[in-house]
C-alpha cells in the first residue's frame, strides 16, 4: 500500500480514535457528576444556569477529555504508520480545537475553561508531535516530518 494512502487512512483512524476518546471521557464526566434535570437547550438562560451549577471537577474532566482526544488521536495515527507526520499533528489538533471553539461559543463555559482549552490544545498537539518524533529516531528527519 502506498505511504500516502496509509497516512490518509491513519489520519481518519486517528480522528475516529480522538472523537471516541473525547466522547468516552465526557460520558464518564456525566456519570460521575449527574445532574437531576437537563435544561431546555433552546433557552440560553437555562443553559447558562445549568453550566454555572456544574462543579469544577466536571469542567476538569471535560478539559481532560479534550486534551486526551488530541494526544490519543495523534498517537494512534502515528502508531499505525510507525512514523510521525505533520499532517496528523496539524489536522487532529485543528479538528479538536475547532470543535472546542464551537462548544465554548455555543454553550457558556467559565472563562478559565475556554481560555485553558483554546490556548493549551494547540500547544499540547505540537508537544505530542515533538515527543512522538523523539520516539522514532531511526528515521531521517525528512522521512519523519513531511
Percent of the chain, pLDDT > 90? Answer: 67
User: Considering the entire predicted model, what is its pTM?
Assistant: 0.87
Who contacts 63 (Cβ-Cβ below 8 Å, separation ≥6)? 113, 116, 117
CB–CB of 71/128 below 8 Å? yes
CB–CB of 72/17 below 8 Å? yes
Cα dist from 21 to 11, 37, 83, whole Å: 15, 26, 22
Cell numbers placing 6: 496509509
Query: How far apart, in whole angstroms, are the C-alpha atoms of residue 17 and residue 25?
Result: 12
**Overall domain count for the chain:** 1
Torsion sign (Cα): 73, 102, 110, 120 = positive
Domain range for 78: 3-144
Please tell me which residue, 51 or 101, carries the higher pLDDT value: 101
Q: Give residue-wise pLDDT tens across range 87-146.
A: 999 999 999 999 999 999 999 999 999 999 999 999 999 999 999 988 875 555 444 444
CB–CB of 70/31 below 8 Å? no
Amino acid at each position: 500500500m502506498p505511504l500516502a494512502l496509509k497516512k490518509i487512512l491513519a489520519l481518519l483512524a486517528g480522528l475516529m480514535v480522538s472523537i471516541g476518546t473525547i466522547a468516552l471521557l465526557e460520558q464518564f464526566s456525566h456519570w460521575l457528576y449527574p445532574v437531576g434535570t437537563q435544561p431546555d437547550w433552546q433557552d440560553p438562560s437555562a443553559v447558562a444556569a445549568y453550566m454555572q451549577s456544574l462543579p469544577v471537577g466536571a469542567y476538569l474532566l471535560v478539559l481532560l477529555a479534550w486534551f486526551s482526544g488530541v494526544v490519543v488521536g495523534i498517537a494512534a495515527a502515528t502508531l499505525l504508520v510507525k512514523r510521525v507526520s505533520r499532517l496528523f499533528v496539524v489536522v487532529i489538533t485543528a479538528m479538536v480545537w475547532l470543535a472546542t471553539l464551537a462548544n465554548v461559543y455555543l454553550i457558556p463555559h467559565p472563562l478559565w475553561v475556554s481560555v485553558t482549552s483554546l490556548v493549551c490544545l494547540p500547544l499540547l498537539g505540537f508537544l505530542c508531535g515533538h515527543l512522538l518524533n523523539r520516539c522514532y529516531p531511526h528515521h531521517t528527519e525528512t522521512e519523519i516530518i513531511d
